[in-house]
């Protein structure tokens, strides 16, 4: 089953990206993505929207 997850900037806490992800047997995503507030690339972690 696929589910949409949000990618949250670890430095600002902003939700900048939404991406589909396979939910069974996978680890949390950690990607280096662009943060518009800081105007540079930072680590973004997976967060499910509540």
- Please tell me the CATH code under which domain 2-47 is placed: 2.20.28.120
Judge whether 26 and 15 are in contact, CB under 8 Å. Answer: no
Distance from C-alpha of 36 to C-alpha of 32, rounded to nearest angstrom: 13
Instruction: Specify the higher pLDDT residue, 23 or 18.
Output: 18
The torsion region of residue 13 among left (phi > 0), alpha (psi -120 to 50) and beta comes to left
pLDDT of residue 49: 67
Name the more confident of 28 and 33. 33
Beta bridge partners of 39: none
The pLDDT value recorded for residue 25 is: 80
As given in the structure block, the two tokens for residue 46 are 């997976």
């Amino acid at each position: 089953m696929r589910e949409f997850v949000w990618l949250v900037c670890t430095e600002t806490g902003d939700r900048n990206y939404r991406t589909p992800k396979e939910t069974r047997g996978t680890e949390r995503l950690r990607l280096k993505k662009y943060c518009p507030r800081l105007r540079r690339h930072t680590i973004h972690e997976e967060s499910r929207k509540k």
